[in-house]
Structure 1
Amino acid sequence: MVFERDYLNPLPAWLNSTAAKWAWISLTAFANLPGQFNRTIFDAPWATETDNLILSKTLNYVNATDFVAYDERFLELIGADATIEHIQHLAYQSHEAPCYIPETHQLLFVEWGKPGGDDGIHKWQYLLDIKNNTLRKIITDPPTYNLHGCVNFQGQLYGVTDGHRNNETGKLVKIDPRSWKATTLLNNFVGQPFAGFNDLEVDPEGNFWLTDSKSGSGIVDFTPPNDPSIYFVNGTTMQAKIVWTTSGNSNGVAMGPDGKTLYVPDSGVSEFRPSNKNPHGRRMVWAFDVAGRGAILANQRLFTSPVSYFYDGIRVSREGWIFAGSGDGVDVVDPESGFVVGSIRTGGGENVAVSLAFGEHELWIVGKGGVWHVKDIKTKLKRDW
């Protein structure tokens, strides 16, 4: 490739014979582009419009890859054996709340909004058998409506919901992955309904961090009581408190491997009811220190912003790398500098990476377009708790 010398770094020899297709961006070359060029924050870099033929060929090549590196460390942490496969082709709408169940080799996730369900209201979840790639719908007992976020903790699934019309507010539920028995753990703040939960995290002590979002506005008939917020919930007493509030929107939430750092994407860029993307809205990731006895966030700082689009689902690996769904794929972010070191691509076009779940050396991406399986990743992903 003649154009490779201009905008791409040569791949190391050990990556030349891989099954996956790679590109390693030369950031020094991209620092000064010739001619005319343009893209919006919602477009991936390879969608850049340009009048330069060599740059255009380079971008077209990158758009056909599986993994894109911005930093040499991304090559090492993903490794030569990693592959990505689009294993389930589903409707071009959001699929969210992925939870991997290693004991049964199954992935739970949900289809969010129309055309499925009753006017976009879902009482079922998808269950994907990883071994034979078969998909079926399951209903918990009692039904869990509009599941929006899920984590696996100590053999149990914990999920949060948007709520369901005027029947119930957003809630935190525990789901047994063997019997599919669902137990409501929290559905109010001392009598006050929640606006609608988007995602959650569980810390090493079993406490919950819940993002109460404006994304569910219109699904339930309750008036949103607060601006989008994060609630800390003591896992033993179920005592809750707001620990952070934004004028943007609270979306994903994830904790570092030592339990001392919390990462929160602020996705006010994505407006709801009606759905709209505001390029002037917030799309940064905040980092906080977890202080006191775990119920206080301190030292808020701007950790990073995505190269394109905005971050939705976010998870942190055992080694501290931040993985975040970002439209064209999943970005991997350095926990020390906040720089994006590379991206795992879901193929571009209408496909949108929304959220993800970890196995040991594999992960699953769900979003618009279905489910992707990334396997044989070199670094260990699943955390200790």
Structure 2
Amino acid sequence: MYSYLNPLPPLMNGTLAKWAYVSLAALATLPGQFNRSAMEAPWATTDISDSRLSRTLEYLNTTDFVAYDQRFFDILGPNATIEHVQKLAFQSHEAPCYLKDTNQLFFTEWGPPGGENGTHSWQYLLDLDTNKLNKITTDPPTFNAHGCVVYNHSLYVVTDGHGDEQTGQLVKIDPRSLKQETLLNNYLVQPFGGFNDLEIDWDGNFYLTDSKSGWGREIVDFTPPTSPTVYFVERETFRIKPVHITDGNANGVAISPAGDILYVPDTGVSQYFPVAKTPYGKRELWAFDISKSGSVLSNKRLLSNPVSYFYDGVRVSRKGRIFCGAGDGVDVIDPESGFTLGTIRVGGGDNLAVSLTFGRNDLWIVGRGGVWHVRDIRERLDRDW
């Protein structure tokens, strides 16, 4: 057995996937010299003087699932596996949505160096029965899609906009006809800086994150009119108001199953001009209480700061577990304590988990390097709406 690891529970022995169970108590005091950046996973570092620790980290870098807590085994179960189903360019892939009606995965390629000077007028639709990948173009075209949620059998997508011609938009797409309808493109005549992601509550109201990401990657030409902002949009009236403003960056957004808590990762760690990342920037996951109207957030508290990298796409499962794209993989976070229960890894190297979407007992991860499918998860993930 490797040092610094707990033995796997008996039920997890002989699994198809490669598991490890980290002993946090054993890691509490380490011998010799050690160092890593906050931007890299613990097992990616080579700056280690102790050979036992080095061998353990090398092993962890070969695993599929890394557990920090017994509950992680209960969530995924012994039959869970992960497969790299689409190997694509080491480029950001975003906005995954699982279409239950047609068993397809919608997602996008985002930003430079791909597309036409970083601009994308098309999206991907992956047939999950055949693993055939198709490029699609909506009618009219949807430019620079960045986030997606399925609601009432339709795709709701947010975009960065297009050059100096088009501000960020919230659009509705019929997944069968690919007809697209613009629902929102301004806040009382003020353009958006460029949307990053969205969430929809039980009643169909929207939470939209307006960020500086599109501007920083020169997808849009105009300087953002405000600091990154989370907007609430009332579905019936399209009344809109800011509910959170940050001097970092607004990225993913997700709501609890009961609809009473909103989770927002702040990714000010990503600088804009020049594009760079610094471990001294914001990379927190915040939780807010939601008012009965949905339009007021209160009781802001720091729920988690990632073990490494930063939280990008975030989704909440049926039982309230928080799943976050976090560089080396997807971190699964306990909503009460904020502790990371475990990580679903995408293989290390240049691969990077960006965002994810749920099926019933499956999840799909998109990011740099393509698409990964995690199947046969014990706990049901998809929500009721």
Give 2:204's match in structure 1, choosing from 182, 201, 206.
206
Residue 118 of structure 1 is matched in structure 2 by: 116
The structural deviation recorded for 1:222 is: 2.9
Is 1:42 the counterpart of 2:39? The answer is yes
CA distance in 1, matches of 2:113, 2:275: 16
Runs of at least 4 residues off by over 6 Å = none
CA distance in 2, matches of 1:215, 1:115: 14
The structural deviation recorded for 1:225 is: 1.3
Matched residue type, 2:313: G
Contact 1:284–1:304 (Cα < 8 Å) also in 2: yes
CA distance in 1, matches of 2:312, 2:108: 15
Q: TM-score of the superposition, structure 2-length normalised?
A: 0.98
Matched residue type, 1:93: Q
Q: CA RMSD in A?
A: 0.8
The structural deviation recorded for 1:103 is: 0.8
Q: Deviations over 1:280-337 (max 9, x none)?
A: 1000011000014110001111111110000000000000000000000000000110
Residue 316 of structure 1 is matched in structure 2 by: 316
Residue 26 of structure 1 is matched in structure 2 by: 23
- Identity over aligned residues, as a percent? 63
Residue 173 of structure 1 is matched in structure 2 by: 171
Matched residue type, 2:62: A
Residue 340 of structure 1 is matched in structure 2 by: 340
Residue 295 of structure 1 is matched in structure 2 by: 295
Residue 249 of structure 1 is matched in structure 2 by: 249
Residue 17 of structure 1 is matched in structure 2 by: 14
Residue 235 of structure 2 is matched in structure 1 by: 235
Structure 2 counterpart SS, 1:37? coil
Q: Deviations over 1:96-155 (max 9, x none)?
A: 000110111100000012333211100000110111111010000000000000000110
Residue 75 of structure 2 is matched in structure 1 by: 77
Q: Deviations over 1:214-241 (max 9, x none)?
A: 1011322333111000000011111110
Where structure 2 has 5 or more consecutive residues not aligned to the other structure, the ranges are none
Residue 150 of structure 2 is matched in structure 1 by: 152
Aligned residue pairs total: 382
Q: TM-score of the superposition, structure 1-length normalised?
A: 0.98
Residue 96 of structure 1 is matched in structure 2 by: 94
Matched residue type, 1:351: N
Contact 1:169–1:222 (Cα < 8 Å) also in 2: no
Residue 55 of structure 1 is matched in structure 2 by: 53
Structure 2 counterpart SS, 1:135? strand
Residue 106 of structure 2 is matched in structure 1 by: 108
Where structure 1 has 5 or more consecutive residues not aligned to the other structure, the ranges are none
Contact 2:111–2:219 (Cα < 8 Å) also in 1: no
Structure 1 counterpart SS, 2:214? coil
Residue 276 of structure 2 is matched in structure 1 by: 276
Matched residue type, 2:214: G
CA distance in 1, matches of 2:248, 2:292: 26
CA distance in 2, matches of 1:34, 1:337: 29
